Structure 1
Amino acid sequence: MFVEIDGLKIFYNVEGNGNPVILLHGWGANSDSLFPISNYLKKIYQTVSLDLPGFGKSDIPLNSFNGDDYKNIVLKFINFLNLKNYVIIGHSFGGRIAIRIARENPDELKGLILIDSAGIREKKTEKQKISENTFKFLKKITTKLLKGESREKILDKLRNIFGSVDYKSQKGVMRDTLVKVVNEDLTSFLKEIKVKTLIIWGEKDKELPVKHAYIMYELIQNSKLFILKNCGHFPYLDNLPKVLSSIESFLEEIYGNS
């Protein structure tokens, strides 16, 4: 199904009955990526999944988005479906959006589940600083000395040399969007979250290290932490039964045995 929000067609899927659980996927993914979770929960709850703008079947924004833009789209989507007393599950980038909603618009939010969530920005290493400064310098020189197709070819080569995997996989507006969102540090938001929160993390996550889980657990007042051994950035793929068990227990605590 599709709905138009702020001129963008947003693809979504609603299954099951009962209390609503909204699932927000990670960067570069789509709503299908959380299917192992939604497919199980739909037996008891109403699961609501959407492709965030720029991903899956949803439209790409005309202009680059920041985290606040994504938050606003999701809130308008929730309002369109008239969802009340919902829980949000956010994985990685989806967790970043969920954190914003929990901190700024908590009225109808009953609980929060963060799975290997983005949101904490670490200080750049010296190697990262050198790489970033080199890219900026070479980009500036290229922009000044070259024009047209030649300039774009060189700039693309520079992006491929210095850009991250996520950056290389995106183009145009979504590249600019990535730069915006990864530079947003939500650490100060965490202590303002009041709703019950479950933090699930793969101990061997190489994209978002497990120390981020402990920081979130320390700062979010009413939170529980579940670390999965021998799991990476997608613990629900590495050990689905344990992830589902922890989510199910948390939802029962929030909603009761509904």
Structure 2
Amino acid sequence: MAEKADRAAAMRDDVQYVTIHGKKRAFVLKGSGPALLLLHGLACDHTTWTPVIDQLAKKYTVIAPDLLGHGLSDKPRADYTLGGYANGMRDLLTVLGIDKVTVVGHSFGGGVAMQFAYQFPERTQRVMLVATGGLGPEVTPLIKLIQVPGWFRVMGVLTLPGVRHLETFALRTAHEYGDVGPLRKVTRDLDEVADIVESWKDRRTRFAIRHLVRAVIDWRGQIVTMSDRAYLSDAMPMAVVWGRDDQVIPVRHASNAAALAPDVRVEVLPDAGHFPHKDHPEEFARILDDFVSSTEPASYNRARFRRMLKAGGSAPASPVPTLEGAPEPQAATSA
């Protein structure tokens, strides 16, 4: 636990800031070489990638932002839709002078990665989805509760000093002592849950998370799917990585990716939960490096894109789907 805190503290020392459209964005930028954009999941921040950033930075330019409403970035009243987040990543990359990237998205960040690839195919070389949303409706009931009326006020009480400290202590203790034996599947990610609970002491963070969740989840589960525009990115290399013991989004969703995109690479890591990049950082870095090294980057062709749009759903399925109900491509606004 102390080692994790030390790594996170060191990573925060590397944080840089840029203001875009009046909103402060936090990000980590390390290394040189082909660019990797690492997008964290719901209620997390760039530190979720701490175990792999230094390894990847030996060969790649790694950009790990805090999405708006998360971590050290601003938490304004703003556009928290998938399209808005994709626009924000486009703007950040433009300010940093980075033209093309391989996008790696974890959980909700996978949805942002797919939306980015749809809105900006000319800037997307590859997509890797890690325990991603958008491949099926099922999701843990704890996330469904966020969009229930009253969650904001209840969580405000549960994150008061004292109460919050007791909760996070219990979660981290359960993680530490349950990390062996039959309870490992359940307790594996509780340290990450403790970090999320800690972040919710900030009402602005709770506001952002509530609005974000309401855009993608209802009482039946995920309300977005990556299937309806799959044909639009026919030449985009895609990989999917999952933890076999994921308790947040079922690992069986990984097989849905193969049905939508026959050429997709699927890796299921044993003894891993919802954060396979944290459970097995060296193996994850190896898989990502192999994916980038062994595939040619996508090449965007406007005429081809136009032909596929006209053909619509009659066109062949593609390796990089996007999200049903998500905004159409936008080039002028940003979250």
Query: What's the TM-score, normalizing by structure 1?
Result: 0.78
Matched, 1:218 2:264: no
- Identify which of 49, 53, 57 aligns with 1:42: 57
Q: Deviations over 1:43-70 (max 9, x none)?
A: 0111111110011110002235111111
2:25–2:66 Cα contact (<8 Å) kept: yes
How far apart are residue 121 of structure 1 and its match? 4.6
Gaps of 5+ in 1: 140-153
Alignment equivalent of 1:176, drawn from 211, 214, 227: 211
Q: Pick one of 221, 230, 238 that aligns with 1:191.
A: 230
Deviation of 1:191 after TM superposition, in Å, equals 2.1
**Matched residues, number:** 233
Question: Is the 8 Å Cα contact of residues 190 and 220 (structure 1) preserved in structure 2?
Answer: no
In structure 2, distance between residues paired with 1:158 and 1:28: 14
What letter corresponds to residue 240 of structure 1 in structure 2? P
Does the aligned pair in 1 maintain the 2:36–2:60 contact within 8 Å?
yes
1:190/1:219 contact within 8 Å kept: no
RMSD over aligned CA atoms reads: 3.2
Helix, strand or coil for the counterpart of 1:200? Answer: strand
- For the 8 Å contact 2:20–2:91, the answer to whether it is kept is yes
CA-CA distance at 1:209 after TM superposition: 0.4
Determine if the alignment matches structure 1 residue 237 to structure 2 residue 252. no
Q: Please name the residue that 1:150 is paired with.
A: none
Match of residue 247, structure 1, among 279, 288, 294: 288
Q: Which of 56, 62, 78 lines up with 2:93 in the alignment?
A: 78
Aligned residue for 1:156, secondary structure, equals: helix
Separation in 2 of the partners of 1:230 and 1:49?
25
Do the aligned residues in 2 keep the contact of 1:103 with 1:189 (CA within 8 Å)?
A: no
Q: Which runs of 5+ in 2 are unaligned?
A: 1-15, 159-192, 298-335
1:88 touches 1:111 (CA, 8 Å); kept in 2?
A: yes
Report sequence identity in percent: 24
Is contact 1:90–1:97 with CA below 8 Å preserved after alignment?
yes
- Within 2, Cα distance between the matches of 1:189 and 1:242? 32
Aligned-partner Cα distance in 1 for 2:266–2:280: 16
Aligned match of 1:146? none
> CA offset at residue 98 of structure 1?
0.1
- Show CA shifts across 1:53-100 (max 9, x none): 011110002235111111111111122222233111111111110011
Deviations 1:95-148 (A, max 9, x none): 1100111223211211111110112351799x99xx99xx66xx7xxxxxxxxx
